[in-house]
Amino acid sequence: MNFTAKMIAEFLRGTVEGDPDVSVNDVAKIEEGKEGALSFLANPKYEKYIYSSGSSVIIVNKDFKPEKPVGATLIRVEDAYEAFASLLRMYEQSKPKKSGISEQVAVSEKAGLGKEIYIGEFAVVSEGAVIGDHVQIHPQVFIGENVKIGDNCTLYPGVKIYHDCEIGKNCTFHSGVVIGGDGFGFVPDENNAFSKVPQLGNVIVEDNVEIGANTTVDRATMGSTIIRKGVKLDNLIMVAHNVEIGENTVIAGQTGIAGSTKVESDCLLGGQVGIAGHIRIAKGVKIGAQAGINNSVKKEGAVLMGSPAFDLQSFYKSYAVFRRLPELRKDLIEVERAVKPSPESGTK
């Protein structure tokens, strides 16, 4: 399908600079642009490509000032990245969705199925499960007993949702996600042998949550592990039992959150962050990649780095010192040699 620059600008509420009738039927990175493609420029590091890009239309920020002529038609908007993302969302939503229930599924007669749903091959929907309208259940998904799934959710191949868990509306779970596996609860006896502590709670995932491939969210020992509205979890994240993650928090891959920790709303966690159990992370906290959080973070909006983590500015000051430790050690040895009396001097 072809779209003109004028049509795109009207959708984005932007302005056209160049030929409003030029059309596009594809998207491309700005450095790989070709005729008929739509690209965008948001990061100044990529500005050099706009002057040589073959793309027909490029979305730019309203305040972008080119240093030399640009061959493509420009569409100026408030935020080029968000504008381009909104176009991709529109394109994604326009793609036809799968529908119907495969003959090669196991759906309990005591499960409740909504309208216009899709269930792919070898999926299992257990007794007492309730599936909302327009839900997409791809092949080899397992939905346990009494699970509730809200409208417009998408479960990609291999998702597993254990019994009694509750999923809100408009959620997306990518392949390999496991919701409601047992929490890591064991208690040693007098012989130091470990006995399992039954995990009797569940997991509640609220609306508009997206969870990346092979991420696991454990059920609570008692009560609920809770993922609040708008949370975005990357691939390969581990969320332990009784954790609560606040609204609109974003967590990057390979992060681990230990049991009973509470992460408040609007937090940003980088990749491979490790958070100890039974602590609280205040609202709006930002934690850099590979940081280790051992204690509660009480200051809202704090920015932390390092392991154990501490304030970002202090981290930078400390880093400027400890990255030079080998050099400083060498200097210290030389100073020590210079001031230390030699045995031949006879000085006592």
Q: Could you read off the pLDDT of 97-131 as tens digits, one per residue?
A: 889 999 999 999 999 999 999 999 999 999 999 99
Q: How far is CA 326 from CA 205, 307, 330, 331, in A?
A: 49, 20, 6, 9
The domain covering 100-313 belongs, at the CATH homologous superfamily level, to Hexapeptide repeat proteins (2.160.10.10)
Res 219: pLDDT: 98
From 75, 76, 41, 39, select the one nearest 54 (Cα to Cα).
39
pLDDT of residue 51: 97
Give the span between the Cα atoms of 219 and 142, in whole angstroms.
Answer: 16
**Range 8-33 average pLDDT:** 96
The predicted pLDDT at position 346 comes to 55
Buried b vs exposed e over 230-263: b needs ≥16 C-beta within 10 Å?
bbebbbbbbbbbbbbbbbbbbbbbbbebbbbbbb
266-298 pLDDT, tens digit each: 999 999 999 999 999 999 999 999 999 999 999
- CB burial of 117-148 (b: ≥16 within 10 Å; e: otherwise) equals bbbbeebbbbebbbbbebbbbbebbbbbebbb
pLDDT at 77: 98
Tokens representing 63?
């305040």
CATH topology of domain 3-94: 3.40.1390
Please give the single-letter amino acid code of residue 328: L
Range 286-321 burial, b when 16+ CB lie within 10 A, else e: bbbebbebeeebeeeebbbbbeebeebeebeeeeee
> What count of other Cβ atoms lies within 10 Å of the Cβ of residue 71?
14
pLDDT at 325: 82
What band does 344 get if pLDDT is binned at 50, 70 and 90?
A: low
Q: How far apart are CA 26 and CA 312, in angstroms?
A: 42
Question: What are the extents of the domains in the chain?
Answer: 3-94, 100-313
> Quick one: pLDDT band at residue 174, thresholds 50, 70, 90?
very high
Amino acid 342: pLDDT: 65
Q: Which has more pLDDT, 190 or 258?
A: 258
* pLDDT score for 68: 94
This prediction has a pTM of 0.86
Catalytic residue among 134, 138, 174, 241: 241
How large is the average pLDDT for residues 28-36?
96
> Residue 310 above 70 pLDDT?
no
What CA–CA distance (Å, rounded) separates 103 from 107?
10
- Considering only residues 70 and 95, tell me which one the structure prediction assigns the higher pLDDT: 70
Range list of H helices, 136-235: none
pLDDT at res. 97 = 86
pLDDT at 339: 87
Residue 334 banded pLDDT, cuts 50, 70, 90: confident
For position 145, what pLDDT does the model report?
A: 98
Residue 281 CA neighbour count, 13 Å, CB half: 35
Q: Is 241 a catalytic residue?
A: yes
